Homo-oligomer: A and B are copies of this chain.
Amino acid sequence: MYSIGEFSRISGLSIKALRLYHEKELLIPTLIDDQSGYRYYDHKNVERARIIKYLRDMEFSLSDIGEILKDANDEADVVEFFEKKKKEILSRIHQQKNIIKNLELIIKTEKEAVMALNHTEFEVEEKEFDTLLIAGVRYKGKYSDCGEAFKKISKAMGWNICGKPFNLYYDSEYKEEDADIETCMPVKKGKNVEGISVRELPGGKGVSLIHKGPYEALGRSYEKIMAYIKGKGYRPKLPTREVYLKGPGMIFKGNPENYLTEFLVVGIQ
């Protein structure tokens, strides 16, 4: 006969747990002293304690364990409990993996933004651009309409999206209203659906300038890149691109002073 402390050391279950299991009638001491109320356990309890501990380690609830111990005398009878538990855990894992995907998306976005902030001088650069598969929605309207277009593309393309969102501007002049805009996202694959065109955007030689700061001040950087192009005698090809490297995030609006936008004129001659 073991006192509760000894039995706790034997079974690896805490005293509190043993008292709880007694209360829930999962593990009833062999003897309870009438006078003192002391619980005494013997070797027959060891086996049952081992089973309970094992099932707790498998994360069965106490009520499940109660049912298992009540209904089952043989491993064969618990298989259905185990199958059910397995399914539960698998679906839990699935859910957690989705969360991780979401977390990683934001982590990655931020890391890239920090890299961009650290490693560029925000000067005009000439670069070679690859052809890019994109999903785009083209419309005439205002810049601010692009939010809705992004939502539409996100919904339609889901996990196929593989890069930063951007706008293509088809007007050769600056237009406040009624501008000819195509809102785009790079994709791995995808099909044309109502209003969304999936196609290749040609690459080639181009110039790039990263703009740091609020969107209201984009004009200055626009002038700068155009002045560079003119200075070099290039003839810019439409559409121009505006890539939103870092803007208002999925969670916070963020500080507009840290927004990063990349102007691209691809296909200079």
A contact residues vs B (CB 8 Å cutoff): 47, 51, 54-55, 57-59, 72-76, 78-79, 82-83, 85-86, 89-90, 92-93, 96-97, 99-100, 102-104, 106-107, 109-111, 113-114, 249-255, 258
Report the separation of the CA atoms of residues A90 and B99 in the bound assembly, to the nearest whole angstrom. Answer: 10
Look across to chain B and name the residue whose beta carbon is closest to the beta carbon of A109: B75
Q: B106 near A74 (CB under 8 angstroms)?
A: no
Q: CB < 8 Å: which of B51, B100, B103, B110 contacts A76?
A: B110
Q: A255 near B89 (CB under 8 angstroms)?
A: no
What is the interface of chain A mostly: helix, strand, loop, or mixed?
Answer: helix
Q: CB < 8 Å: which of B51, B92, B99, B251 contacts A75?
A: B251
Report the separation of the CA atoms of residues A100 and B224 in the bound assembly, to the nearest whole angstrom. Answer: 60
Look across to chain B and name the residue whose beta carbon is closest to the beta carbon of A248: B75
Q: B76 near A113 (CB under 8 angstroms)?
A: yes
Report the separation of the CA atoms of residues A254 and B74 in the bound assembly, to the nearest whole angstrom. Answer: 4
Report the separation of the CA atoms of residues A109 and B82 in the bound assembly, to the nearest whole angstrom. Answer: 12
Q: B111 near A78 (CB under 8 angstroms)?
A: no
Further 19 A-B residue pairs, CB within 8 A, beyond A78-B106, A82-B106, A86-B107? A47-B253, A55-B251, A57-B99, A72-B252, A73-B254, A73-B255, A74-B254, A75-B109, A75-B250, A75-B254, A76-B110, A76-B113, A76-B258, A79-B110, A82-B103, A86-B100, A86-B103, A86-B104, A93-B93
